[in-house]
Amino acid sequence: MTGTDTGIGKTVVSCALAARARQLGLRVQAMKPIESGVVERRVSESGLASDADRLRAACGSTLPLSVVRPYALEEPLAPMIAAARADVRIDIAVLDAALARLEQDADVVLVEGAGGLLVPIDIRLSYLDLFARWHAPLILVAGNKLGVLNHVLLSVRAAEAAGVPVRAIVLTALAHRDATIAEATNFDALVTLLPHYTILRFPWVDRPDDLDILAAAAQGGGLDALLSPSSP
């Protein structure tokens, strides 16, 4: 699970996929390898304070938070910067071990990045590099707003250059109001510009901590296809 930007619905879509997977009888686990800005996050209505907490709850996971989120950093910055400022060295072997543990108990593992695809984990490693290392096809979450066409195309081209397949692009509604012209035309534009890719829509959800509502949104948006090993 990656995105075109920060704050565009990656965690909501990830939780929706996890909740829907459970409805379909699948064992699902989710991972947020590095989460920054943890103490800055507003506590949600459910009382869950971080993305990793919400992912763990959506999966019904009993695994320790240290597995779901190996690294928690206080400042709301790119992991490379937040880790350096906290004098933390991110060890790829720790991330590999956490993923291996999650895979033991799951039919589906969702891995949520931070911000966009090229956000740096350290000076040598971006999330794109991490997903390539793990042979993880991408679900690209894109906020439906002016500028998203450029953001999606840049992300897709970067993934293609790295040989990382893009399984789907999920265009998320960012507000509950009448759509602007850009918002009303972005979906069809992406279908035209990327005819060989799966383009899906995810609606605005008023209660993003209600797992039944999230699962219904995932089903209604056609995201069930992303839970099938035979999907593109």
The first and second tokens of residue 186, run together, are 């972005």
**Distant-in-sequence, close-in-space partners of 220: CB < 8 Å, separation ≥ 6:** 203
- 2, 12, 21, 32: the active-site residue: 32
DSSP string, 106-171: -SEEEE--SSBTT-BSSSS-BHHHHHHHTT--EEEEEE-STTHHHHHHHHHHHHHHHT--EEEEEE
**Do the Cβ atoms of 13 and 51 come closer than 8 Å?**
no
Phi and psi angles of residue 199, each rounded to the nearest 5 degrees, phi first: -115, 125
32 a catalytic residue: yes
Residue 135 region, left (φ>0) first, then alpha (ψ -120 to 50), else beta? left
* Catalytic positions, written as ranges: 32
